[in-house]
Structure 1
């Protein structure tokens, strides 16, 4: 409803929103409880003696398929993009709000990472 009609600007906003939601699903700690059923945790000691935890997708069934999907940033990105474009095309106000919030959050995340790299933090 209130997203821009300019194709390039809209493409950029949808791209940023897709980037942020994909990272949220695949990497962010807050989504870990939702990812946990799809993975097996493997603990190994490294050469320094520290314990490292690896997540391996379950081997079979729907949980295995979900684990394979969630371990692939590119795969999740396709489905997230499909979802966000669906929201946009249906012209739902809350869909536009979600897309805009995710896009703004993506810009904030990109700025934060860039500044952290420049400052060596």
Structure 2
């Protein structure tokens, strides 16, 4: 397989963005919900803290454990992006490009926020 540098960068950024979308973004919260149990605990300060714990058994538990691990989800997201790249270059390529641009924008925003926070 011959991957150009540009294709590699698109795959890299799109898998980064897809992973963050699946693991952290609020928009995916309802999709993650069936795979976790919500546990409330009261801290020493008397504040209620909510923890999401993967379901203990079965396929929901397996998916919950995967979504709870950024590295695990990143492997599957990368595989998905590579499969799109190889087998659906038309529509898949457009989706990968959108994710890559969003991933690049996210990294840039992080850098800008770090610069602003350190310049105060």
When the two chains are superposed, the root-mean-square deviation of aligned CA atoms in Å is 1.6
* Matches of 1:8 and 1:97, distance apart in 2: 17
Unaligned runs of 5+ in 2: none
Residue-pair matches, total: 117
- 2:108 corresponds to 1:115: no
Instruction: State the SS of the aligned residue for 2:45.
Output: coil
* Matches of 1:59 and 1:91, distance apart in 2: 36
Match of 1:23 in 2: 20
Q: Give the TM-score normalised by structure 1.
A: 0.90
Moved more, 80-89 or 16-25: 80-89
The match for 1:67 among 64, 69, 72 is 64
* Matches of 1:7 and 1:93, distance apart in 2: 17
- 2:85 corresponds to 1:58: no
In the TM superposition, residue 118 of structure 1 has moved relative to its aligned partner by 1.3
How does 1:7-46 map onto structure 2 within 5 Å? 7-46=4-43
In the TM superposition, residue 48 of structure 1 has moved relative to its aligned partner by 2.2
Match of 2:82 in 1: 85
**Moved >6 Å (runs of 4+):** none
In the TM superposition, residue 46 of structure 1 has moved relative to its aligned partner by 1.7
In the TM superposition, residue 120 of structure 1 has moved relative to its aligned partner by 1.4
In the TM superposition, residue 6 of structure 1 has moved relative to its aligned partner by 6.1
Moved more, 38-47 or 100-109: 38-47
For the structure 1 residues 39 and 91, does the alpha-carbon distance in structure 2 shift closer, same or farther, using more than 3 Å as the test? Answer: closer
* Matches of 2:60 and 2:80, distance apart in 1: 21
* Matches of 2:79 and 2:23, distance apart in 1: 16
Residue by residue over 1:72-113, the C-alpha shift from the partner in whole angstroms, topping out at 9 and shown as x without a partner, is 111111111111111111243110000000000011111111
Instruction: State the SS of the aligned residue for 1:52.
Output: strand
Q: Give the TM-score normalised by structure 2.
A: 0.91
